Structure 1
Amino acid sequence: MSFYLPLVLFCVSSTVTPGPNNLMLLISSIKFGIRRTFFHYLGICLGFPFMVFVIGLGLESIFASYPKLHLVIKVIGAVYMIWLALKIISSSSYSDEKNSKPLNFKQAALFQWVNPKAWVMAIGVISTYTVISNNISLFFQVVVISIIYMIVSFFCTGFWLFGGNLVKRILSDEKHLKVFNLVLGLLLILSIVIMIFE
């Protein structure tokens, strides 16, 4: 396997940057607080490394054989996230709505499979940081990459979870909140567009 330092740097840079997971986690943390958003956070931190593991064990080759399947998943994910972005933009308050609740562990873990950024990250890391070698099995390499992503996720995604608390104090004014919602919604749409065309 390639050097560990470049792998860790790739994992950190791809996990800490804004994307659907981090933006949704930030919004959930602002709206529901850290405690109620914790299982959403766990779903990302464990669900994404599991996705990397599964892709590393052969799902990537299935998509190479059936590229339309990958396209279908991308389109479903993009439509869902654009809908989320429009909800964020149109939201005028983060106060609890009657039927509103944060994503649970299962929902957050399953969300990885329709998240275009997650696909790009997972396929990118497996393609770049694994080698076919007699000295080290592909399975072992995939396990190591998945574990590194899991550890990195707890720290980098945690930054966005706890960041919601800080942002909430700043956004007590309704006008600032509307601007913030607009910026976050547009960032989410931008992240989707970038990932689709990568």
Structure 2
Amino acid sequence: MPVEQLVALIGFVAVMTGTPGPNNLMLMASGANAGFRRSLPHIFGITFGCQVMLLGVALGLGPLLSRFPQALTALRIGGALYLLYLAWRLVRTRHLSETDRDARPLTFIQAALFQWVNPKAWMMILTGVATFSQPGRFTASVALIAAAFLVVGLPLISSWNLFGAALKSRLHQGRRLVLFNRAMALLLVASLYPTFGMEPGPVEAVSAKAPSPAAS
């Protein structure tokens, strides 16, 4: 991959993994409610889930979604319902005493599976493969994309959780935790706005770039 394209890839990954979205908002809320250590399975689950999704897209999931667009609609609806459930859970937590006893960050498996109904994760993976993979060196370029998401993305999503954990001690006072969790719940709901505007363009682009089974 040329240096210019590699720099562009790193910038793309930094923007996509470092900006607000369902994963980062949930990680910040998890850090504030449960702390960094208890959130580690959540962090690693996101990373693993995105890597598996990228592998699936590279192996031909993109063409499959292009052929059955109703699958994308089902993923959008499933993701929206799950995000509403997570927002409801946040609103229910009212005191840090409840948090210490009942706060349950997503497990490794839950966080990994959530990526399959996370619209931002789909947009990020599909756009990344469609833009930065090279038909002549498809496997090597996809491996480089995966490495970029791991090396650049993992520290960035961890920083959101660490920021939330840094706020935890300040939330002991008054109704701060209630207000914080309600704000996080509202932001999670707001993150649904682009869900149903996800275009099929990246799916079609991946379909055009991915080698056919006969070619491999």
Structure 2 length-normalised TM = 0.83
Contact 1:32 1:102 in 2 (8 A): yes
Unaligned runs of 5+ in 2: 199-216
- Give the partner amino acid of 1:38: L
Q: Which residue of 2 aligns with 1:169?
A: 169
- 3-state SS of 2:180 partner: helix
Shift of residue 132, structure 1, vs aligned partner = 2.1
Shift of residue 57, structure 1, vs aligned partner = 2.2
Question: Partners of 1:84 and 1:191 in 2: how far apart?
Answer: 12
- Alignment CA distance shift 1:58-1:72 (3 Å): same
- Alignment CA distance shift 1:161-1:99 (3 Å): closer
Deviations 1:76-101 (A, max 9, x none): 11111112112223431243365542
Kindly tell me the number of residue pairs found equivalent between the two proteins.
195
Q: Which residue of 2 aligns with 1:42?
A: 44
- Give the partner amino acid of 2:108: F
- Give the partner amino acid of 1:60: G
- Alignment CA distance shift 1:181-1:98 (3 Å): closer
- Give the partner amino acid of 2:59: L
Of 64-73 and 85-94, more deviation after overlay is shown by 85-94
Q: Which residue of 2 aligns with 1:86?
A: 88
Contact 2:35 2:168 in 1 (8 A): no
Unaligned runs of 5+ in 1: none
Contact 2:42 2:105 in 1 (8 A): yes
Deviations 1:11-31 (A, max 9, x none): 011101111111111222222
Structure 1 length-normalised TM = 0.90
- Give the partner amino acid of 1:161: N
1:119 lines up with 2:116 in the alignment = no
Q: Which residue of 2 aligns with 1:51?
A: 53
- Give the partner amino acid of 2:123: V
1:14 lines up with 2:23 in the alignment = no
Question: Partners of 1:174 and 1:20 in 2: how far apart?
Answer: 27
> Runs ≥4 in structure 1, deviation > 3 angstroms?
94-100
The CA RMSD measured in Å over matched residues stands at 1.8
1:142 lines up with 2:142 in the alignment = yes
Question: Partners of 2:171 and 2:152 in 1: how far apart?
Answer: 29
- 3-state SS of 2:60 partner: helix
Shift of residue 62, structure 1, vs aligned partner = 0.5
Contact 2:31 2:161 in 1 (8 A): yes
Bigger Rg, which one: 2
Q: Which residue of 1 aligns with 2:206?
A: none
Q: Which residue of 2 aligns with 1:27?
A: 29
Question: Partners of 2:96 and 2:127 in 1: how far apart?
Answer: 35
Contact 2:76 2:195 in 1 (8 A): no
Shift of residue 157, structure 1, vs aligned partner = 0.8
- Give the partner amino acid of 2:66: A
Contact 1:41 1:157 in 2 (8 A): yes
- 3-state SS of 1:8 partner: helix
Question: Partners of 2:96 and 2:19 in 1: how far apart?
Answer: 23
